[in-house]
Amino acid sequence: MLAVQDLAWGFASRRVGEAVSFALGRGETLALLGANGAGKTTLLRTLLGLLPPLAGRVEIDGACLSTLSPTERAMRIAYVPQAQLPVWGFSVVDTVLMGRASHLPAFARPGRADRDIALQSLATLGIGPLARRPVTELSGGERQLVLIARALAQQAGTVLLDEPTASLDFGNRLRVLRVLDRLRGRGLTVVFSTHEPDHALMHADRALLLEGGRPLAFDTVANALTAENIERLYHTPVRMVEAAGRRVCVPADDADGVRR
């Protein structure tokens, strides 16, 4: 579904990252980790086709991304940005209907079928009762779920999410992370960026770790997210422990002078 070959990305005046290659199939989830400034958001924008690659190529469903029109890209890749406070008070259902734009002719209005798809996307995420509410009256977690519903309404096979749990409280983080699992269960290809190794360990199949714009590791989450790699990525000592049958990352206890 999504393949990247020796990709370099950035801007005409500055290269942000390079030497990244990976391939993801249906139902696979990739977690993208790196310190602030590592190039995660710029990489996502390149995977979306908003920025041209500086080298290498991006393929979606076997087609080179650069050969596809914006409409064709939108029908294959959906994007969920970080939740932001909206300026206009569109209703929730109208916001989700915006995800149908790539399926409509120019200047056409969404029809009943499009509205049904929008309402089904809201129901899938358990936020159907919010359909008539203005997005300006929602909590941060609710707005993030609305953005994911908009992506579902695109009916694209690949979904990219930029730090989908950033600035959310504990309960809303859990809700969004459960949605990631449901997207994977529906057979979608999912890429999400995060600063939380535990989110990658529990909700992704593979992890790509970026250090200074270059891959530090790309592997299964179990192999990529070692204590050594996480320490190198974030410059802080950690250790991996077992909790409730899962591996989790915690700050290292340096009291005994032993790094685990």
Looking at every residue in the chain, the average pLDDT score rounds to: 91
> Which position has the higher pLDDT, 258 or 21?
21
What are the start-end ranges of the H helices in 61-205? 70-76, 92-97, 112-124, 140-153, 170-185, 197-203
Query: Identity (one letter) of the amino acid at 110?
Result: P
> Which position has the higher pLDDT, 159 or 89?
159
- Residue % of the chain over a pLDDT of 90: 76
pLDDT digits (tens, 9 = 90+) for 167-181: 788 888 888 899 899
pLDDT of residue 260: 44
Rg for the chain, CA atoms, rounded: 19
Which two three-digit tokens encode residue 184?
Answer: 């994977």
Distance in angstroms (rounded) separating the CA atoms of residues 80 and 104:
20
- Continuous segment of H or E residues that includes residue 223: helix 221-224
Residue 252 φ/ψ, nearest 5 degrees: -70, 145
3-state secondary structure of 166: coil
pLDDT of residue 18: 95
Question: Averaged over 255-260, what is the pLDDT?
Answer: 44
Residue in the structure block whose two tokens are 């005994």? 256
Kind of pairing between the strands at 238-243 and 246-251: antiparallel
Residue 223 has pLDDT above 70, yes or no: yes
Query: Identity (one letter) of the amino acid at 20?
Result: V
> Which position has the higher pLDDT, 244 or 63?
63
Q: How confident is the model at residue 259 (pLDDT cuts 50, 70, 90)?
A: very low
pLDDT digits (tens, 9 = 90+) for 14-33: 999 999 999 999 999 999 99
Residue 85 has pLDDT above 60, yes or no: yes
Residue-range domains of the chain with CATH: 2-222 (3.40.50.300), 226-260 (no CATH)
**Strand extents, DSSP E, 27-87:** 29-34, 55-60, 63-64, 77-80
Distance in angstroms (rounded) separating the CA atoms of residues 79 and 130:
21
3-state secondary structure of 141: helix
pLDDT of residue 254: 52
Query: Positive or negative, the Cα torsion across 232, 233, 238, 239?
Result: negative
Side-chain-side CA neighbours of 31 within 13 Å: the count stands at 27
